[in-house]
């Protein structure tokens, strides 16, 4: 998959992308840097769900890591380049429909419903098992081709 599939527009980020970026994952550093460079180059807007923050905070709460909690809270909030969408009743109903159709896990179905409701044409994840409708392009981080 090519990063050139990202053009101006709204791009959905799954939780794992935030974890890799904010924890500075050595394994995914090159793909994350290229991904953010492409997003900046195209002027794309990032979108995610409030669920992302909850998923990101599990490990810091387990470890009683207040610095990591603050770190995630600082970056996963509405800003000029990131829109964090509420988990509404409409999203939950669409998530249930997605789960029934695509057989994804419920959190993945909530992410997918949020992306769909937000008009995102691209969904960036590192989970190759998430299934989606044809009108959403799934970009799996580990499969991204980076051309220099």
**69-111 residue pLDDT tens:** 999 999 999 999 999 999 999 999 999 999 999 999 999 999 9
Q: CA end-to-end span of the chain, whole Å? A: 15
What pLDDT score does 65 carry?
97
- pLDDT above 90 coverage of the chain, percent: 91
What pLDDT score does 76 carry?
98
- C-beta neighbour count of 117 within 10 angstroms: 16
Q: How confident is the model at residue 2 (pLDDT cuts 50, 70, 90)?
A: confident
What is the fold, at CATH topology level, of the domain defined by 3-143? Rossmann fold (3.40.50)
What pLDDT score does 144 carry?
85
Q: How confident is the model at residue 148 (pLDDT cuts 50, 70, 90)?
A: low
**22-35 residue pLDDT tens:** 999 999 999 999 99
Question: In terms of Cα–Cα distance, which of 141, 123, 145, 110 is closest to 27?
Answer: 141
The pTM assigned to this predicted structure is 0.94
């Amino acid at each position: 998959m090519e990063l050139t599939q990202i053009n101006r527009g709204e791009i959905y980020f799954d939780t794992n992308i935030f974890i890799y970026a904010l924890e500075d994952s050595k394994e995914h550093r090159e793909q994350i840097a290229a991904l953010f460079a492409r997003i900046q180059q195209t002027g794309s807007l990032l979108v995610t769900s409030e669920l992302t923050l909850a998923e990101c905070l599990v490990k810091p709460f387990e470890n009683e890591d207040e610095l990591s909690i603050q770190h995630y809270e600082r970056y996963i909030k509405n800003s000029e380049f990131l829109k964090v969408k509420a988990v509404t009743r409409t999203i939950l109903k669409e998530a249930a429909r997605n789960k029934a159709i695509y057989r994804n896990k419920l959190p993945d179905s909530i992410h997918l419903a949020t992306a769909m409701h937000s008009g995102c044409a691209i969904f960036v994840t590192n989970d190759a098992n998430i299934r989606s409708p044809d009108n959403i392009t799934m970009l799996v981080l580990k499969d991204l081709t980076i051309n220099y």
